[in-house]
Amino acid sequence: MDSDGSGAVSAAELRAWILRRHRGARGQELRAERRRLDRDGDGAVAWDEFRRETFGETEDFGGSPDPDSHRKLLERSRRRFLAADGDGDGRLQEPELDAFLHPEDFQHLQDLVAKETIEDLDRDGDGFIQVDEYIADLFEGPPGSPEPPEIQREREQFLRGRDRDGDGRLGPSEVKLWLSPPSPDWAKVEAQHLIHHADSDRDGALSREEILGQWELFVGSRATNYGQDLHRAHDEL
């Protein structure tokens, strides 16, 4: 991270490191998934290849403990596959496979991402995410127990920031705004965020001690793929 050997990580160094980690991890995952799914070795993933590798040789889930859930997941995967298949040839080249695996990062798939999110969180089936449904996805304590401060802040963020029309629920357009792709220079924004919260001496850079002292902040950051990159075999961390 400290590319100039100064003993501290500047915002520019942190931004560059975040981008290196993100690109390396993303590319590694993409190549691994293509190799896993591409049964005929033609360099692309057909729907039938994905279905067979992920769901098995048959669409009959009668032997599954929850066949309806499997059928819904299959239908969702099919819907996303078709949306990611930009040229409509029934096969996903690597850029299209990237969109299939990470639709949240692609502008043309934002309607689909909003639809999937509502399906995941909408417990009463009304087509909206109520504030209590949103909170239930984050925290479910014993009945009558108080919400932790961080959950109370999430509730306030929902009502004041995400619920644009003030009706106590999120519709598709509000969910789409909430989940819109990160800013074009998201790595710079994330670097500034990390420095703001971890820079205890306010010198505008991070020492090794400051980074280690705020390890939970880094584990929960997009900079480390929300902690997943910390489990990869590499030399940069």
Can you give the pLDDT at residue 185? 83
**Distance of alpha carbon 216 from alpha carbon 224, whole angstroms:** 11
**Cross-strand pairs, 206:** 9
High-pLDDT (> 70) share of the chain, %: 89
CA–CA gap between residue 212 and residue 199 (Å, rounded): 11
Query: Any idea what DSSP says for residue 6?
Result: S
pLDDT (tens digit per residue) in 84-107: 999 999 999 999 999 999 998 898
Give the position of tokens 């799914």.
Answer: 37
- Ordered mean pLDDT values, 10 residues apiece, the chain (237 residues): 93 90 84 94 96 83 73 94 96 96 91 95 96 91 86 92 94 91 77 90 94 84 60 45
pLDDT tens readout for residues 137-166: 988 888 888 998 889 999 999 999 999 999
Question: Helix-strand-coil percent breakdown of the chain, rounded to 5?
Answer: 60, 5, 35
- Listed in sequence order, the residues at least 6 apart from 215 whose beta carbon sits closer than 8 Å to its beta carbon are none
Structure pTM?
0.69
State residue 234's pLDDT score. 45
pLDDT score for 233? 47
Torsion sign (Cα): 152, 154, 155, 160: positive
Q: Which two tokens stand for residue 202?
A: 């306010």
Cβ-based neighbours of 75, under 8 Å, separated by 6 or more? none
The pLDDT value given to residue 35 = 94
